Amino acid sequence: MRTSRLKSLIADYNALLTELEKDPNFVRRIAPATLGTEPDDANVIYPRVSKELQAAARKVLAEESNQTLIESAVPAWLTRCSTPCLRIMLFFAGAALILISFICFGPARKNRLE
C-alpha cells in the first residue's frame, strides 16, 4: 500500500519536473493549485473539483496511459521475427528468393551456335 502510494507520488513529481523543463511558465499556472491560493487572473474561471473526482480522473488516465504504452511497445511482427527458429526460416526464405530472382531474371545467354 505504501510503496504503491510512493511510486504514484514519484511518478507525479517526475511528470511535473519534465513539464517544468519544457515550459518555464508552467510554474505560474500550477502555483495556485499547489500552494492552495486563489488565482489572480480576473478573466478566467477556475472550476472547483472534489478530491474523489480528481482521484477517479487520475485512475482513468493512468489506466489509459499504461494500456497505450503496453500496446505500442513492440509490434507483433517484430516479436515474431525475433524468435530463433523463425529468424532462420526468414533467412533461408530470403536467400531462396534472391536465387530465384537471379535465375529467372538474370541476363539472357547468347546461343553458342550463332
What would the pLDDT profile of 10-25 be if each residue is shown by its tens digit?
A: 888 888 888 888 887 8
CA distance 85 to 59: 41
Q: Mind listing the pLDDT tens digit for each residue in 57-83?
A: 888 888 776 665 555 567 778 888 888
Q: DSSP letters along 5-28, please?
A: HHHHHHHHHHHHHHHHHH-TTHHH
* pTM recorded for the entire structure: 0.33
